[in-house]
C-alpha cells in the first residue's frame, strides 16, 4: 500500500507534533546517522578512492598466491598500417578506468661490477628509447624496465630485461637492441647524463604515472599485443600499458633481482664494465667480432664504413703511426683502469692489427715513434692485437694498477741508467791549471 501523500507543507521550525516533541531534531539526528553510515561505507568500500585524493591499489591481497600460468612474452609484431591510421586508433583507445597505483621503489644491490653493468644497460635503454624526450619521458621508459625486472614473466637482471631476445632480429623486446640502432652512440655528455639518471632510478626513484606498466610503444605504430593490455598513461609520444587482471596488479610484482648481470657485447664500446669478467680478466679477444656476428653483410659493411665514434672520455692520442694502428696515449694518473679498455676498444675498432701504449705521466711518455726501450718501465698499460697470429693481449703495469692475475702484468723491466756522455777533452792550458 502506498503511503498517503498530501500537499501539506512541512512543519515550521517551531512546530510541535501531537506528542509534544519537536520533530526537527529527530529528523536531523536520523539524517546525520544515515550520512555517517554512508560515509563509513564509502570510505571502506571501493568508492573510497574517489574521496581521499589518492588512487588506491586494486583490492587484491598481497599474500594471494600467483596464478600458475605466467603470461607469454609476445614479440613486437607491428600491424602493417599507415602511421596516421595507427595514431588515430591509439588516440581512440580509452585509458583504463581502474586505479594506477605507483610501483614500489627499486634499490639495486650486489657487487660493484653488477651495479655498473646494470647502470649501463638501463642508460642504454633510456638513451636509445627516449633520448630525445623530456626527463619525464626518460624516467617513464626506465620505470618499465625496472617493473619488468620485478615481474615473474621477465628476466631478473636489468641487462637481461633490456637485451632479452636481442640475439634474434624478430625476438627483441626493445627494438634498439636488434635493429642496428646501436651503431650510433651518444656523446660523452649525453652518456654521462643518462648514466646519472639510471643510477637515480636504480636507487629508489619512482615515476608514478606509469604504475605497473610493463609495455609501451610510440603512438604512430600499432603492436598486435596493445589491444590485450590496459592503457594506463601517455608520456609525449609513448603509450604505456599493463597486463589486465592479476598480472597487472602490484601484488604480482614479487620477482627478486638476482644480480650477476651478464656481459653484453653490444655495450663494450660504451661500457668498460662489459669488457671485464667477474674475476678481473679482460674480455677483449673476439668481442668486437661478436658485435658483427648476427649482422647481415650490408650491416657489417655499414658499421665498418662508419667506424666507432670518438671515445666518450675525450682522450686523444699523443702519437700515432701513419696508418693509425700504433697509438700512444697519456691519461691522468687517477683515470679508472677500465677506461683504458674503452680507449682500446674505440681506437682499435675492427683493425686486424693494433698496438696501444698508455702512460699516466707526460714527462716519461715518448715524444716520437718508435718508443725508446728506457721509457717502457714507466708505461701504465699496453695492448697488442695481431689477427694473423691470433694474438690479443692486454697488460698492466702492476706497480701502478695491481691485478688479481699475475699473467695480466707486464714483465718487470729494469730501469736503465742513462749512459754518461764523454766529457770534452780539456785544453792543455786548462790541464795545466788543474795541477
Rounded Cα distance between 270 and 192, Å, is: 11
Start-to-end Cα distance in the chain: 150
Q: CA geometry: angle at 244 spanning 238 and 250, to 5°?
A: 85
For position 277, what pLDDT does the model report?
Answer: 66
Cis peptide before 370 (omega within 30 of 0): yes
Predicted local confidence at residue 281, as pLDDT: 57
CA–centroid distance for 336 within its chain: 21
Residue-level pLDDT at 327 = 93
**CA-based nearest residue to 272, from 263, 172, 386:** 263
Of 232, 230, 245, 257, give the one whose Cα is nearest residue 67. 245
**What does 271-286 look like in DSSP terms, one character per residue?**
-GGGGB-TTS-B--TT
CATH 1.10.10.2520 domain locations along the chain: 83-252
Note the pLDDT of residue 335: 78
Rounded (10°) angle between helices 188-201 and 112-130: 120
Residue 52 pLDDT: 30
Q: What share of the chain is helix, strand, coil (3-state, %, to 5)?
A: 35, 10, 50
pTM: 0.60
Spatial neighbors of 421 by CB under 8 A, at least 6 apart, are: none
pLDDT value, residue 352: 83
DSSP-assigned states of every residue in 190-215: HHHHHHHHHHHHTBT---GGGTT--E
- Give me the tens of pLDDT residue by residue for the chain, a chain 435 residues long: 333 333 333 333 333 233 333 444 444 444 455 444 444 443 333 333 332 333 334 434 444 556 668 888 877 777 888 989 989 998 989 999 999 999 999 999 988 889 999 999 999 999 999 999 999 999 999 999 999 999 999 999 999 999 998 876 667 889 899 888 888 888 878 888 999 999 999 999 999 999 999 999 999 988 888 888 999 999 999 999 999 988 999 999 989 999 889 888 888 778 877 876 665 555 554 444 433 333 334 433 433 333 344 455 678 899 999 988 999 999 988 777 767 776 777 777 667 899 999 999 999 999 999 999 999 999 999 988 888 887 878 888 999 888 767 878 888 766 555 555 555 554 444 333 333
Among 267, 291, 260, 290, CA closest to 155: 260
CATH architecture of 83-252: Orthogonal Bundle (1.10)
Q: Which residues pair with 223 in a beta bridge?
A: 78
Alpha-carbon distance of 366 to 380, in angstroms, equals 13
Looking at 70-143, which runs of residues are DSSP E strands?
A: none
Q: What is the DSSP string of 373-427?
A: GGGGGG--EEEEEETTTTEEEEEE-TTTS--SSGGGBPPP-PPPPPPPPPPPPPP
Q: Are 145 and 122 in contact (CB under 8 A)?
A: yes
Long-range contacts, stretch 159-163, CB < 8 angstroms, 24+ apart: 159/117, 159/118, 159/121, 159/261, 159/262, 159/264, 160/261, 160/262, 162/121, 162/122, 162/124, 162/125, 163/121, 163/264, 163/266
204 class by beta-carbon count within 10 Å (0-12 exposed, 13-18 middle, 19+ buried): exposed
Provide the grid cell at 419: 749512459
Cβ 98 vs Cβ 169: under 8 Å = no
> Residue 60: what pLDDT?
44
Residues with Cβ < 8 Å from 72, sequence gap 6 or more?
A: 153
CB 339 within 8 A of CB 347: no
pLDDT of residue 419: 53
| Residue-level pLDDT at 180 | 84
Amino acid at each position: 500500500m502506498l503511503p498517503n501523500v498530501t500537499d501539506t507543507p512541512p512543519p515550521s521550525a517551531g512546530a510541535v507534533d501531537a506528542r509534544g516533541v519537536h520533530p526537527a531534531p529527530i529528523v536531523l539526528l536520523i539524517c546525520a546517522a544515515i550520512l555517517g553510515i554512508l560515509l563509513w561505507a564509502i570510505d571502506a568500500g571501493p568508492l573510497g578512492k574517489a574521496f581521499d585524493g589518492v588512487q588506491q591499489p586494486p583490492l587484491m591481497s598481497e599474500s594471494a598466491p600467483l596464478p600458475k600460468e605466467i603470461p607469454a612474452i609476445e614479440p613486437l609484431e607491428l600491424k602493417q598500417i599507415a602511421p596516421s591510421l595507427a595514431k588515430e586508433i591509439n588516440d581512440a583507445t580509452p585509458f583504463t578506468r581502474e586505479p594506477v597505483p605507483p610501483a614500489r621503489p627499486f634499490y639495486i644491490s650486489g657487487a660493484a661490477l653488477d651495479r655498473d653493468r646494470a647502470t649501463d644497460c638501463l642508460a642504454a635503454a633510456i638513451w636509445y628509447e627516449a633520448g630525445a624526450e623530456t626527463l619525464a619521458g626518460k624516467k617513464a621508459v626506465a620505470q618499465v624496465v625496472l617493473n619488468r625486472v620485478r615481474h615473474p614473466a621477465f628476466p631478473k637482471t636489468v641487462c637481461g630485461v633490456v637485451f632479452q631476445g636481442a640475439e634474434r632480429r624478430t625476438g627483441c623486446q626493445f627494438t634498439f637492441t636488434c635493429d642496428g640502432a646501436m651503431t650510433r652512440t651518444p656523446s660523452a655528455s649525453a652518456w654521462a647524463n643518462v648514466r646519472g639518471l639510471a643510477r637515480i632510478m636504480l636507487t629508489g626513484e619512482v615515476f608514478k604515472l606509469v604504475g605497473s606498466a610493463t609495455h609501451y610503444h610510440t603512438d604512430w605504430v600499432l603492436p598486435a599485443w596493445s589491444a590485450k593490455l590496459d592503457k594506463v598513461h601517455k608520456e609525449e609520444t609513448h603509450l604505456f600499458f599493463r597486463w589486465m587482471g592479476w598480472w597487472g596488479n602490484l601484488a604480482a610484482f614479487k620477482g627478486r633481482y638476482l644480480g650477476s648481470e651478464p656481459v653484453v657485447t653490444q655495450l663494450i664500446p660504451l661500457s668498460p664494465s662489459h669488457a671485464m669478467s667477474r674475476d678481473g680478466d679482460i674480455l677483449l679477444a673476439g668481442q668486437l667480432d661478436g658485435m658483427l656476428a648476427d649482422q647481415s653483410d650490408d650491416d657489417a659493411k655499414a658499421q665498418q664504413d662508419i667506424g666507432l665514434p670518438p671515445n666518450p672520455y675525450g682522450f686523444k692520442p699523443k702519437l700515432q703511426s701513419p696508418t693509425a694502428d700504433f697509438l700512444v696515449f697519456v691519461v691522468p694518473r687517477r683515470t679508472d683502469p677500465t677506461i683504458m679498455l674503452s680507449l682500446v676498444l674505440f681506437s682499435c675498432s675492427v683493425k686486424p692489427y693494433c698496438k696501444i701504449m698508455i702512460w699516466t705521466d707526460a714527462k716519461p711518455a715518448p715524444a716520437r715513434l718508435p718508443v725508446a726501450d728506457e721509457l717502457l718501465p714507466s708505461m701504465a698499460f699496453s695492448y697488442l692485437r695481431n689477427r694473423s697470429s691470433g694474438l690479443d693481449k692486454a697488460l698492466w703495469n702492476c706497480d701502478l694498477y695491481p691485478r688479481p692475475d699475475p699473467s695480466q702484468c707486464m714483465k718487470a723491466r729494469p730501469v736503465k741508467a742513462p749512459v754518461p756522455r764523454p766529457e770534452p777533452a780539456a785544453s792543455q792550458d786548462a790541464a795545466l791549471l788543474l795541477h
